[in-house]
């Protein structure tokens, strides 16, 4: 069971890195600004998932703290850039 | 008991990865910003939350940090989707295969007349 779990964790890590690569490619080839911003938000979400998987692989909960900080920062930045796109000002 | 916990964690790992794969596939294939937002909400809500449930079951130290992060993700992801949809509609990005627009003429911009300095 331990071996199956370890193998599944590595496969899941590889799949999430592949998905992040595909989303970064889509941000590069995007068609308008909101689509690119959505790709940026998806990239930060997948990075959060990768941090959670690394904390499961290494059995160390310090990566969860990094994931909390990354979630807060990506939320603030995405909402600020969306407000800037819609109203041409942030505040 | 440990075998049961590990089996539940394995199920949540596979389910979260499947939701993330479906969300990324929809993000690549759907034709429009608004429909693509519908697909990319799955990655944040179901994928990351299921992975966090598996992390709570597998790592012994991080129960309250995981619960806090689940709460924050469930709070932040719908508001990000709402902000992106509102920004897309106010920026005038067209919808694909539109039949009816209920917000046409009802939405004025909030105090930006004469303020378009950069575009």
Residue in chain B closest to A4 (alpha carbons) equals B10
The secondary element (H helix, E strand) that includes residue B64 is: helix B63-90
Say yes or no: B53 contacts chain A, CB-CB below 8 A: no
Structure tokens at B24: 């990324």
Residue A45 CB contacts under 8 Å (≥ 6 apart), including other chains: A74, B43, B44, B47, B48, B77
Residue B5 has pLDDT above 50, yes or no: yes
Contact B62 A67 (CB under 8 A): no
What does R_g of chain A's alpha carbons equal in angstroms? Answer: 16
What span, in angstroms and rounded, lies between the C-alpha atoms of B50 and B12? 5
* B44-86 pLDDT, tens digit each: 899 999 999 999 998 877 788 889 999 999 999 999 999 999 8
Q: Does A32 touch chain B (CB under 8 A)?
A: yes
Q: What is the pLDDT of residues A14-27, one digit of tens each?
A: 999 999 999 999 99
CA-nearest of A30, A48, A40 to B83 is A40
Sequence-ordered list of residues with C-beta below 8 angstroms from that of B44, at least 6 positions apart, any chain: A41, A45, B73, B77, B80
Question: With 50 as the cut, is the pLDDT of residue B118 above it?
Answer: no
Quote the DSSP letter at residue B102: T
Q: What does the alpha-carbon distance between residue B103 and residue B86 come to, in Å, rounded to a whole number?
A: 11
| Per-residue pLDDT band at B94 (split at 50, 70, 90) | confident
User: What is the value of ipTM here, to two decimals?
Assistant: 0.89
Residue B101, Cβ neighbours under 10 Å: how many? 11
pLDDT at B116: 47
Q: What is the pLDDT of residues A30-79, one digit of tens each?
A: 888 899 999 999 999 999 999 999 999 998 888 999 999 999 999 999 99
pLDDT at site B61: 73
Q: For residue B46, what are the CA distances in angstroms to A4, A90, B61, B116?
A: 23, 30, 23, 38
Whether the CB of A71 is below 8 Å from some CB of chain B: the reply is yes
Residue B107 burial (CB < 10 Å; 0-12/13-18/19+)?
A: exposed
- pLDDT for the residue numbered A27: 92
Q: Which positions in chain B touch A34 (Cβ < 8 Å)?
A: 33, 84, 87-88, 91, 93
Task: Specify the pTM.
Answer: 0.88
């Amino acid at each position: 069971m331990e071996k199956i779990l370890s193998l599944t964790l590595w496969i899941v890590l590889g799949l999430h890195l592949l998905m992040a690569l595909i989303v970064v490619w889509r941000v590069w080839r995007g068609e308008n600004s909101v689509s690119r911003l959505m790709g940026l938000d998806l990239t930060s979400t997948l990075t959060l998932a990768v941090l959670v998987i690394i904390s499961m692989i290494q059995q160390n909960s310090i990566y969860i703290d990094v994931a909390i900080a990354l979630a807060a920062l990506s939320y603030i930045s995405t909402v600020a850039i969306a407000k800037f796109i819609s109203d041409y000002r942030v505040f | 008991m440990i075998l049961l916990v590990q089996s539940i964690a394995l199920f949540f790992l596979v389910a979260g990865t499947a939701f993330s794969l479906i969300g990324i596939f929809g993000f690549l294939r759907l034709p429009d910003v608004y429909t693509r937002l519908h697909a990319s909400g799955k990655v944040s809500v179901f994928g990351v939350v299921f992975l966090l449930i598996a992390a709570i079951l597998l790592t012994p130290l991080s129960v309250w940090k995981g619960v806090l992060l689940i709460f924050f993700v469930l709070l932040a992801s719908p508001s990000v989707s709402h902000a992106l949809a509102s920004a897309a509609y106010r920026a005038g990005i067209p919808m694909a295969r539109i039949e009816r627009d209920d917000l046409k003429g009802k939405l004025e911009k909030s105090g930006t007349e004469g303020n378009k300095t950069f575009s």
